Amino acid sequence: MYEYLKGVVAAITPSFLVLEVQGVGYRLLVTNPYAYQEGAAATVYVQQIIRDNDQALYGFVSAGEKQTFNQLLTVTGIGPKSALAILANASTDGLAGAVAAGDVTYLTKFPGIGKKTAQQIILDLKGKLAAPVGDLFTPVAPVADPALNDALAALVALGYPDKTVAKLTTKLAKSGAKTTDAYLREGLRLLS
C-alpha cells in the first residue's frame, strides 16, 4: 500500500521512530532508530503489515532493505519482528553470503532463530537474495550515560534477552563510544 514516506523525524525511541508527514505522525518500527536524527528530514521506505489484532508500519533506509525484509517474510517461521531483528544484526551482503554458503551457524546467532528455522531460511532463500558484494528497557544497573541506556534498550527491543544485554553494560561503557548509534553498533558486534 505504501512505498515510502518523506517527512521529519519527530521522535526516536529504542524500538521505533515517529515520522511526521504533513501533520500526521507515523509510528515506524525500524532496524536502528538511532540511524536517524530527531528534527531532520528523512525518507523511509515502509511496509505495512496487518494481522488479526495488529497493524504496524515497518521502516527501512533503502528499497533493498525493504525487499530483503519481504523475502524473509516468505520463510516459514519468520514473522515481521524476527525479520526486523535479522536485518538489524546483519548486513544484507552478510545475510546473502550466509544463505548462499548454507551457513546455519551464522543464522542461528540472530534472536529467535534456531537450527530448523535457519535451515528453512537457507532452503527458501538460496539463490533469491542478492549475491554478496517496543517498550523502554531500564538496565538492571542503570548507568549515568543516557546514550548507553538507550542503546541497551534498543538491544532488548530487537529481541535479545535482558540478562544477555545487561552483561554487555561494562564492555560497552569501556568501548569508548560516545553516541547511542555507536554503542548500538558495538553491542550488535559483541552479540554476533
Q: What domains lie within the chain, and their CATH numbers?
A: 4-60 (2.40.50.140), 66-125 (1.10.150.20), 146-191 (1.10.8)
Q: pLDDT (tens digit, 9 = 90+) per residue, 67-122? A: 889 999 999 989 998 999 888 876 666 788 888 888 899 888 888 889 999 999 99
Instruction: Name the pLDDT band for 136 (thresholds 50, 70, 90).
Output: very low
Separation between Cα atoms, residue 27 and residue 171, nearest integer Å: 32
- Give the DSSP H or E segment for 19: strand 17-21
What secondary structure letter does DSSP report for 127? T
CB atoms within 10 A of CB 136: 13
Burial of 175-187, coded b for 16+ CB within 10 Å and e otherwise, reads bebeebbbbbbbb
- Are 58 and 23 contacting, i.e. CB atoms less than 8 angstroms apart? no
Q: pLDDT (tens digit, 9 = 90+) per residue, 10-63? A: 999 988 999 999 999 999 999 889 889 999 999 999 999 998 888 999 999 888
- Are 174 and 127 contacting, i.e. CB atoms less than 8 angstroms apart? no
